Amino acid sequence: MAVKPIKRTNRIARPSSTHGLSIVVPLFNEAAGLAALHERIAQVARALKAKYDLPAEIVYVDDGSRDDTNNIARALPADPLDVQVVTLSRNFGKEAALLAGLDHARLGAVLFMDGDGQHPPSLVDTLVSRWLNDGYDVVYTAKANRENEPWLRRVGVHAFYSLINWGARQPIPEDAGDFRLLSPRAAAALRQLPERNRFFKGLATWIGFRQMRVDYDPAPRAHGRTSWNVWTLIGLSIEGLTSFSVAPLRFASLLGVLMATTALLFGAWIAMQTVLYGKDVPGYPSLAIGLMVLGGVQLMMIGVLGEYIGKLLAEAKGRPVYFVAEHTVKNAVGSAVKTTPARAAE
């Protein structure tokens, strides 16, 4: 199947309807619990229709699943909400899947939630209420506490947010997740951002508008095991830092100043020991340690610069963020339209 790229521009990609809610759910190997999750979301959609007369659709983005996720998603009933299944050509990562869902959302407001069931669908009504009744444009959720997590992970999370928010004009709320609702104008603003190296939490905060936090306790994972481990979390942290913040470069500059100051003080101490007290300072150990420390720091800083240069190279190449292998649309009336569009998003 041939694929043709769709150009991303700075123009607002207007949805077909400014009224309604598109629920975007990225999927990766979620076959075991997808049917149960869909039924829970369908119940929420019925409640939203009865309470607010708010039409809804759900956009499943299959991010290269290796199990039967795609077939199960395409077989889900479109009752009472329309169902879209966007099948990516391979695993592009969660950030690309979120962008694919945003691009294919046809209604005004967009709500993002995970497909593993840990984001409770019962909380959707609260998010919608904050948008419709209280006038907030971005309603994001955050973990109420991290007491059940290892202390090392808690320290790492705090350090990450401290670093990425260092000097930021619009700090990212700590513990905020991807489970959030964007009003029509907030979703339109997010569509205008053209970068390919995306950090969704940061971008959704950066656009501004009226934002509100809602705390919640994540539900236990109903099936399987998470694909996130310490290394993937570290990789995501590096991706977020270098895609959204210059804090690592500032840290490198301050570290250079600190090392230069330490070297000057050490040199002054050696001179004082030699001139005033006539003591000979051993040269080889201090020289070897100094060279090893300096060499290690320089290599680390070269790595930081390399991350940013790699991001610039990716932006300059202009490769699409994702490719769509198949797109299925099933309307609530029961008719299904299957297409295999030659589409990609840059």
pLDDT in tens, 234-268: 666 666 666 666 667 777 777 777 777 777 777 77
- Between residues 141 and 281, the one the model is more confident about: 141
CA distance 199 to 237: 10
The whole-number pLDDT of residue 13 equals: 46
Q: What mean pLDDT, rounded, does the chain reach?
A: 76
- The DSSP-derived string for 255-297 is HHHHHHHHHHHHHHHHHHHHHHH-PPPPHHHHHHHHHHHHHHH
* Of the candidates 244, 171, 219, the residue with the CA atom closest to the CA atom of residue 40: 219
Coil, helix or strand for 98? Answer: helix
CA distance 137 to 127: 10
Q: Out of 144-153, 160-169, 192-201, give the one with best mean pLDDT.
A: 192-201
Name the CA dihedral angle for 160, 322, 121, 202, rounded to a multiple of 10 degrees. Answer: 30
> Which residues, in sequence order, are bridge partners of residue 48?
none
Q: Out of 23-32, 210-219, 226-235, 317-326, give the one with best mean pLDDT.
A: 23-32
CA distance 25 to 27: 6
The whole-number pLDDT of residue 2 equals: 43
The whole-number pLDDT of residue 91 equals: 86
pLDDT in tens, 83-104: 889 989 888 888 888 998 998 8
CA distance 47 to 6: 36
Coil, helix or strand for 130? Answer: helix
CB 53 within 8 A of CB 141: no
The whole-number pLDDT of residue 73 equals: 87
CATH architecture of 21-245+318-345: Alpha-Beta Complex (3.90)
Confidence of residue 112 (pLDDT cuts 50, 70, 90): very high
> Which residues, in sequence order, are bridge partners of residue 320?
none
Q: Two tokens at 223?
A: 């099936």
Confidence of residue 225 (pLDDT cuts 50, 70, 90): low
The whole-number pLDDT of residue 9 equals: 43
Confidence of residue 19 (pLDDT cuts 50, 70, 90): confident
Confidence of residue 182 (pLDDT cuts 50, 70, 90): very high
Lowest-confidence pick of 37-46, 126-135, 255-264: 255-264
- Between residues 161 and 346, the one the model is more confident about: 161
Q: At what angle do helices 31-52 and 124-132 cross, to 10 degrees?
A: 40
CA distance 27 to 258: 46
The whole-number pLDDT of residue 59 equals: 92
pLDDT in tens, 151-162: 676 777 777 777
The whole-number pLDDT of residue 60 equals: 92
Lowest-confidence pick of 76-80, 92-96, 105-109, 336-340: 336-340
Tell whether the model's pLDDT for residue 32 goes beyond 70: yes
- Between residues 187 and 147, the one the model is more confident about: 187
- Number of helical H runs and strand E runs in the chain: 10, 10
CA distance 122 to 44: 7
* Of the candidates 107, 103, 105, 125, the residue with the CA atom closest to the CA atom of residue 41: 125
Extended strands (E) in the chain: 21-27, 56-62, 82-88, 109-112, 138-143, 176-182, 211-216, 322-330, 336-339, 343-345
Name the CA dihedral angle for 25, 30, 36, 42, rounded to a multiple of 10 degrees. Answer: 20
CA distance 53 to 128: 12
Domain boundaries along the sequence of the chain:
21-245+318-345, 247-317
The whole-number pLDDT of residue 281 equals: 62
Helices (DSSP H) in 60-150: which residue ranges? 69-75, 94-104, 124-132
CA distance 28 to 281: 61
The whole-number pLDDT of residue 11 equals: 39
Tell whether the model's pLDDT for residue 229 goes beyond 60: no
Q: Two tokens at 342?
A: 């030659």
Lowest-confidence pick of 11-20, 191-200, 283-292: 11-20
